Amino acid sequence: MNKPVPPMSSLSLKLPTASGGLETYRLAASRTFPAKLEGTLNRVAFSAAHVVADPRADVDPWLTAAVDWDKTIAFREHVWDLGLGVAEAMDTAQRGMGLDWNTSLELIRRSVSAARAKGNALVFSGAGTDHLAVEGAKSIDDVIRAYEEQIAAIEKIGGRIILMCSRALAKLGRSAEDYAKVYDRVLSQVREPVIIHWLGDMFDPALSGYWGTTDLDKAMDTAVAIINAHAAKVDGVKVSLLDKQREIDMRRRLDPRVKMYTGDDFNYAELIAGDEKGFSHALLGIFDAIAPAASYALSRLAAGDEAGFHDVLGPTAPLSRHIFKAPTRFYKTGIVFMAYLNGHQDHFTMVGGQESARSTLHLAELFRLADAAGLLANPELATRRMQTVLATRGVEP
């Protein structure tokens, strides 16, 4: 039996192909998702949010981060309106990859203030050790002091903590005992339960060997032991390994008080839906790019409509897999490009000049996949903007 052909719109444009030519691409009929949460959610869901660069600032982008604060906070208000939380100053915001600690703290301050004005909207913020140069870290105690400094600064402005992985600890930590020492000291001091972030080296090569070993089974043993020993101080753990079975295995080993937040940008729908033994909550970079669809899908899941949940979220997976394809650390380019296509910013300029980190062919395929999933909020605007980017990159019909 032939599959039904999806309805098409009247819009079309020329897109480059892998063979070096151009093809006429006709857009599909768009889907419309609510701009605000309808109903309730039965999962805690965070979007790790990007920052909007200021393209008019007189800075050297590779060296200095210039942020458009108004647009950056407006995007967070968009996320909160959809019932999602904001995971602030994380790798999606180019933390440690263009965004330094001082700028991150200012971002956190503004975000926490905006969340308070929004009626205490949900925001947790990344605390790490990135103000400590990796080459300047000489001991485990240096790592502990660096964590303590950032945690104190965030808690002083009323923020909740996501305990990020430390490049310095990845360099110095040689054993499970080294990691236990750091996390024992840090977790004993936090004011409120934190989210622990385990970021795989596909997202940041400097984190290879985290938890004291490159053996992921042994690494998980160490992480689970530390987390469960401090369950009263841990709200949850975010795992970003792009390995759904490892996440499921870890989820089943956690103390019942500790949430699993999926960071799997490949298999999030299945992990959030869960199975007879449990489910994952969400803390995802892709939720920045697909926030309206994610909100609506999660509301369908809470209403008992699992088929509706998968109908909306399932088609977003090919886009996410494309955005997060290797080298995965360059996924931020796709996230910001989606924000540009969907009108959340007026330019495709990034902190650190990372708009150049993906090819024109990559962006063209992103456009096709976003359209196929119904994720272009205003197809006419998105088409014009796609054509503009193609022209600036030397691709014109």
Instruction: Tell me the pLDDT tens digit for each residue of 186-217.
Output: 999 999 999 999 999 999 999 999 999 999 99
Residue 5 has pLDDT above 70, yes or no: no
Both ends of the chain: CA-CA distance in Å? 37
List the domain boundaries for the chain.
40-354
Give the confidence band of 303 by pLDDT, cuts at 50, 70, 90. Answer: very high
Residue 39 has pLDDT above 70, yes or no: yes
The predicted pLDDT at position 1 comes to 43
34 to 64, 82, 292, 297, 322: CA distances (angstroms): 37, 8, 7, 11, 25
Instruction: Please name the fold of domain 40-354.
Output: TIM Barrel (3.20.20)
Residue 356 has pLDDT above 50, yes or no: yes
Give the confidence band of 341 by pLDDT, cuts at 50, 70, 90. Answer: very high
Residue 106 has pLDDT above 80, yes or no: yes
The predicted pLDDT at position 30 comes to 80
391 to 125, 210, 351, 360: CA distances (angstroms): 38, 43, 22, 10
Instruction: Tell me the pLDDT tens digit for each residue of 49-75.
Output: 999 999 999 999 999 999 999 999 999
356 to 320, 351, 379: CA distances (angstroms): 19, 11, 24
For the chain, give percent helix, strand, coil, nearest 5: 50, 15, 35
Q: What is the mean pLDDT of residues 138-156?
A: 98
Mean pLDDT of the chain: 96
